[in-house]
A = this chain, B = another copy of it.
Amino acid sequence: MPKRRKPAGARGISEKKELLNTFLKEWGLKSTRQRDIIVTEFLKTGGHITAEDIYRKISKKHQDIGFTTVYRTLKLLVKSRLATERVFADNLTRYEPLSAEDHHDHLICLGCGSITEFENARMERLQEKIARESGFNTVAHKMELYGYCGRCGSGSRGGKKQPGTKKNAPAPQKNRNNR
């Protein structure tokens, strides 16, 4: 019943880039090399990625693109409704491509850090019902399940142990600004 979603990346990238360009024109904003590169990488990567992640990926090839621009471009995608921001338990802001009517929740593995999306109509209905019975009118919800995925088992064993939280971030690494 909870249907796994097809990865939002992969196809439709050029269509989305079109949508962005339309948005830019409508608002009197400009198309730039940087925006194109960033958006392409973002859409290609798929989702649940931080500005930092994208910045790192991109700056391997394009040392001249700064973190700030990546950050701003991602915000732009949010404004143009081509992406959404999400903040999970590690308190990092992640972005994911958004397609129109899209609505889903997340399963987050505490072992490997993987994030799986799911959709469940019954859940949605139940949420509505609960809200209604309390006199609420819901406009949004947030639902995250934390646990261990199949590969990571149920506890300390297995898993790639992706850090994720800032508590135990191992890499020192300062100053995210480039140059």
Contact = CB atoms under 8 A, between A and B. Distances in A.
On chain A, which size bracket covers the interface? Answer: 35 or more
A78 B153 CA distance: 27
Interface in A1-23: 1-2, 4
Q: How many monomers of this chain does the complex have? A: 2
A126 to B, nearest CB: 6
A144 interface: yes
A144 B150 CA distance: 26
Interface string A112-155: 00001010101100110111011111111111111111100110
Given A122-B126, A123-B126, A126-B126, A142 B146 contact: yes
A142 B139 contact: no
A139 to B, nearest CB: 5
Interface of A: 1-2, 4, 87, 89, 91, 107, 109-110, 116, 118, 120, 122-123, 126-127, 129-131, 133-150, 153-154
